[in-house]
Amino acid sequence: MMQDNLKQLEAAYEIIKNNKLIEIDEKKNDIEILRHAKRLVRVSLPIVMDNGSIRVFEGYRVQYNDARGPFKGGLRYHPEVDEDEVTSLAFWMAIKCAVADIPMGGGKGGIIVNPKELSKTELEKLTRALARALAPVVGPLVDVPAPDVYTTPEMMSWFKDEYSKIVGVDSPAVITGKPLTDGGSKGRDKATGLGAVYALEAYLEKTDKKEITVAVQGFGNAGLHFAELSHPEWKIVAVSDSKSAIYNEAGLNIADLIKHKEETKSVVDFPGSKNVTNEELLALDVDVLVPAALNSVITEKNWENIKAKTIVEIANGPIALPESKKLADKGIVIIPDVLANSGGVVVSYFEWRQNLDKESWETDDVNAKLKDKIRSAFAAIWDAKEKHNLDLRTAAYVLAVARILEAEQKRN
């Protein structure tokens, strides 16, 4: 995974150098800094389990780059967490924060654990142990974690509480994604979906398209809110979850579909729609395809089936890198993950700001600020794409790498 990131880094650096986008002193070879994580912390977390036995869990925190601000990125609890993956995701966070132009860097962490096998008491002990183990290297101005795969707002509260006890000061800004009642931000729950809506809206303004058909893969936090918050002119004709997909060419009633999903735990068998497979959903002849479930769903096996003219990457890395290039060469516009799903981290940054300033912003205020950030990021990426004839992903990397390098140069 990290290999792909490094390829994108090198490609962006070549464009920055050749077009003299920032001043570069070749002797310094400052790009080398971005090829490495600044710090990798590996922790062992001994926990007394409910049955009295002791189990030791292994965890990581990768602090990739903090030239633009504190490291920022999630903590995931998953049996397959590994060093390479966490490093790669930490690099990605640095790029994402720079694309969104928020003053934060990139980090990521996790524990090798299947949280479904642990009781709530054990999960609390594990999270508090992680906070104690990371306390010397995190902090509101140093590294600010957040939820990620299988971690919850409640866990963020435990982390904050344990860290605050250690430093002796209530420190809500040490972590984001907390519950609203414990320093969380209004608007965080819908921010990723809404950010993707704003990104697509900004792109459509560059075209003459207003009325579009859309297929959304994944109906979880991000996909559901994208569908729920999308414009009336956008017809959501298909959505899916891990069980299967549904399709209605006349458009799906999303409010009714949310109720159906709550009642039956799936989107399948939604009245008035027909069931199709997830592969069929990806290949639908729609204007916009929104992968919002998993990484690597479009690969060499199925990329030629894609008929959508635009893809909005809400999932992280839903398209394999070579296929992303092939699709872009075919004229398919890909709104890249580092922009399309950055709404979550932008509102996490807002949460951090509110905590530091002891403020609480209203939802409308949060959403207006989010819109502003996404539209500015889109405009800058579009500008770079037009000026240097790039696809949007490469343009986003060029912008981000230039911003991070400039910040590094200031301190070296």
Which residues are catalytically annotated? 108
Scanning residues 215 to 254, which ones bind ligand NAD (CB under 6 A)?
A: 217-223, 240-242
The CA distance from 91 to 373, in Å, is 21
Cβ closest to ligand NAD, residue 118 vs residue 314: 314
Q: What residue number has its CB nearest to ligand NAD?
A: 220
Provide the terminal-to-terminal Cα distance of the chain, rounded to the nearest Å.
Answer: 29
- Using CB under 6 A, count the residues that bind ligand NAD: 20
Judging by beta carbons within 10 Å of its beta carbon (0-12, 13-18, 19+), is residue 120 exposed, middle or buried? exposed
Give min distance, CB of 50 to ligand NAD, in A. Answer: 26
Q: Which is nearer to ligand NAD, 70 or 317 (CB)?
A: 317
Contact between 176 and ligand NAD (CB under 6 A)? no
Cα 45 to Cα 132: distance, rounded to the nearest angstrom = 9
Kindly give the residue spans of alpha helices, DSSP state H, lying in 36-112: 83-99
Question: What is the C-alpha to C-alpha distance for residues 160 and 254, in angstroms, rounded to an integer?
Answer: 36
Q: Which of 5, 151, 278, 367 binds ligand NAD (CB under 6 A)?
A: 278
- Judged by beta carbon, residue 47 or residue 348, the one nearer ligand NAD is 348
Shortest CB 183 distance to ligand NAD, Å: 18
SS3 301: coil
State yes or no: residue 187 binds ligand NAD (CB under 6 A).
no
Work out whether 294 is an interface residue with ligand NAD (CB under 6 A).
yes
Q: Should residue 344 be labelled a site residue for ligand NAD when binding is judged by CB under 6 A?
A: yes
Strand order in the sheet with 234-240: 274-276, 245-247, 234-240, 212-217, 288-291, 310-312, 333-335
Answer whether 67's CB lies under 8 Å from 95's CB: no
Q: Which is nearer to ligand NAD, 282 or 398 (CB)?
A: 282
- In this structure, the strands spanning 71-78 and 143-147 are parallel
Q: How far is the CB of 154 from ligand NAD (least distance, A)?
A: 16
For ligand NAD, the closer CB: 286 or 292: 292
Which residues of this chain interact with ligand NAD, rule CB under 6 A? Answer: 192, 217-223, 240-242, 278, 292-294, 314-316, 341, 344
